[in-house]
Structure 1
């Protein structure tokens, strides 16, 4: 309870302090048509302010440390103040001493239905489910912050990921899809549970190795950086022997497939025969991409 109360205090009184996220929010309602489009413009501005002006962690992020991310909400239906939608969430992380940013998350959430009244206050209460809109958006905010922190320190994002899991637990009382373990194994419930599960620990280890020991090193030693990125991918492949076609592997390659092809198709050569074999085994859906990697 003290943790939850301190979090509530942080979110309510932390507005305008040190924000962690630099998020571009887009609300697309072209499919709805013929309705009042102003409500969607208001929602877009309100969500942008909510995400970008909230101090989610109390850690005092500097302006250059803010995490670049995006949320694209595609509204396909409306009945009064009830909306049927999907949300595409992306986030990236800069490489050390470089202008390059690497995607850490690319998630397409198809179960995002919510209610919204124009100009309503967007307030997150971690102890009570009030709004699926706020719960989903806040869940992804903590997920992004946790995943980003994992790339700078081994399991550095645990506390933020645990908060995302607490949001799932509370949101299950609302009856909306995407929060329950009895649904598809690729929803918000499974994503955060798997991320924190011991079985999928190699995923979080791989995220740190790939970014901090891989991409961040390439600026000064490209060959060593590539070797460490290869080790990270082989580490991730450990999951395949236990959980083939896991959500964690899909999450990783949804964000990284094109980047991996680019990294290993140029620069100093390293032995990647075992890497390509692992890629085809763990992510066969991307086999056409792996075939383009130049040895």
Structure 2
């Protein structure tokens, strides 16, 4: 009877699992105190926070967890105040291959926070407990959202909305990166653009590039490459309405090397118009576009 009751309880409530497989690196060489125990403790606590927090109500299997990483560069520590930046990266597998494609690669230079060794790190969506917790939670939802957007058209929106809640709560604090006044390459701008109707084309690109392109590469590489090329040319539309926009930069910071590798070998496709578009919308990546075989 007891076993039946336990079984019914498991059936009655969805079993939730953590969504992220996140590695954390703390580089404190610039402080001249990189051997401090506090950095090792911080690494452990941040790893546990990212990986042990249940961010959504999804039932995620072990093999479905999102591979991601945080590389935190601490440039100064003054008592409990850390001056730092963080490089956030994530990837997801391509169907029927052993290849993982990069989904997100972003360097946040406005990542300053207070931290006392062994302080509890718990995410409360309704409050601002610390800049450290808010920034990490923001990136957790952004990572999950961009991953979802690569599988389902507009699939990332619910998670970008959760990130927006963090932005709105954090704006009540005088902390860099959360407000329109913080600059043009900030957490605020990233979230605002991901949710803006003006950038729906970006959602189309994220979905089509992965599901209609990369995920068919193993089955028919020529058609898959043609699909990717056609998708990338959609950046022309974004450029026409929003030249030099932030999301285009984030995309190509993540994808430039992959695109160059994709079109520098394998079955040949017509890429002359693609290269022209790439040089226009992402001119800072011209060294990569020069590798593409015309």
Q: Is the 8 A contact 1:19 1:61 kept in 2?
A: yes
In 1, Cα distance between equivalents of 2:41 and 2:87: 19
8 Å contact kept, 1:17–1:53? no
Alpha-carbon deviation of 1:268?
A: 1.3
> Which secondary structure state, in structure 1, belongs to the residue aligned with residue 96 of structure 2?
coil
3-state SS in 2 of match to 1:286: helix
Q: How does 1:68-107 map to 2 (within 5 A)?
A: 68-107=67-106
Indicate the residue corresponding to 1:215 in structure 2.
214
How far apart, CA to CA, are the structure 2 residues paired with 1:258 and 1:36? Answer: 34
Residues 97-119 of structure 1 show CA distances to partners (whole Å, capped at 9, x for unaligned) of: 11001101110000000000110
Q: How does 1:1-295 map to 2 (within 5 A)?
A: 17-34=16-33, 37-295=36-294
How far apart are the structure 2 equivalents of 1:159 and 1:87?
Answer: 24
| TM, length-normalised to structure 2 | 0.93
Q: Which stretch of the first structure deviates more once superposed, 139-148 or 232-241?
A: 232-241
Count of aligned pairs between the two proteins: 281
1: distance between equivalents of 2:173 and 2:43?
Answer: 23
How far apart are the structure 1 equivalents of 2:246 and 2:141? Answer: 19
Q: In the TM superposition, what is the alpha-carbon distance from 1:36 to its structure 2 partner?
A: 6.5
Contact 1:69 1:90 in 2 (8 A): yes
How far the C-alpha of 1:267 sits from its partner, in A, is 1.3
d(CA) in 1 for partners of 2:284, 2:34: 40
What's the CA shift for 1:46? 0.5
Structure number with greater Rg is: 2
Deviating runs (4+, > 3 A) in structure 1?
none
Is the alpha carbon distance of 1:129 and 1:223 closer, same or farther for their aligned partners in structure 2, counting shifts above 3 Å?
A: same
Give the alignment's Cα RMSD to 1 decimal: 1.4
Counterparts of 2:145 and 2:183, CA distance in 1: 23
Q: Which runs of 5+ in 2 are unaligned?
A: 1-13
Contact 1:29 1:37 in 2 (8 A): no
Distance (whole Å) between structure 1 residues aligned to residue 204 and residue 249 of structure 2: 16
Structure 1, gaps ≥5 residues long: 1-13
Residue of structure 1 equivalent to 2:8: none
- Quote how far apart the aligned CAs of 1:35 are: 7.2
Deviation at 1:236, TM superposition (A): 2.4
